[in-house]
Amino acid sequence: MKPDWRQYISDDWTLFLDRDGVINRRIIDGYVTSWDEFEFLPGVLEALEILAQRFRYIIVVTNQQGVGKGLMTMEQVDDIHDRMCTEIEAHGGRIDGILVCPQLASEPDNYRKPDPSMAYTAQEIYPEIDMEKCVMVGDGATDIEFGRNAGTRTIFIGDENPDADDCFSSLIEFANCLKL
């Protein structure tokens, strides 16, 4: 039996998180366009407190195509993220960076997940990031593909995903398996 890779996670690792469906409730066939529509998923604030103790960096990587569709502005997205981070910090967690792709999937040369560009941008901002010491957590196939394309470990939130390194029902379940 091979050793569990999670035992090697230390404070020089980076955690990439998808937003909708991992941190907050996803609006099916819609977009979170204001803070009033943003709802943390159960256990997320506690999970981020635990994860802040285990990872050097916690970076949100999120596709926000609603901007490209004209359903919201980047200012609205930034407001949601500012309030989200304030709430997370008030509960002992942290987010070190948020990278957003507002482009439409139909735009040529877009950098939406599964393209790994947001991971490489994070590496430019934080040169200490080693993709072999990163974990991507997401609830969609494109999140897992993003992690694979960037060379990270992958965690799927939800039912089984055979392409992910591991699957958990929620972010708090993943965080609890990493408690010191």
Active-site residue set:
18, 20
17 DSSP β-pair partners: 60, 137
Closest by Cα among 3, 99, 89 to 52: 89
Helices within 29-140 (DSSP H only): 44-54, 65-68, 74-90, 117-125
Helix (H, G, I), strand (E, B) or coil at 64: coil
Collect all residues with Cβ–Cβ distance below 8 Å to 23 and sequence separation of at least 6. 17, 40, 41, 44, 60, 84, 171
- With contact defined as beta carbons under 8 Å apart, do 17 and 59 qualify? yes
Main-chain phi, psi angles of 62, to 5 degrees = -140, 135
In this structure, which amino acid lies at residue 16? F
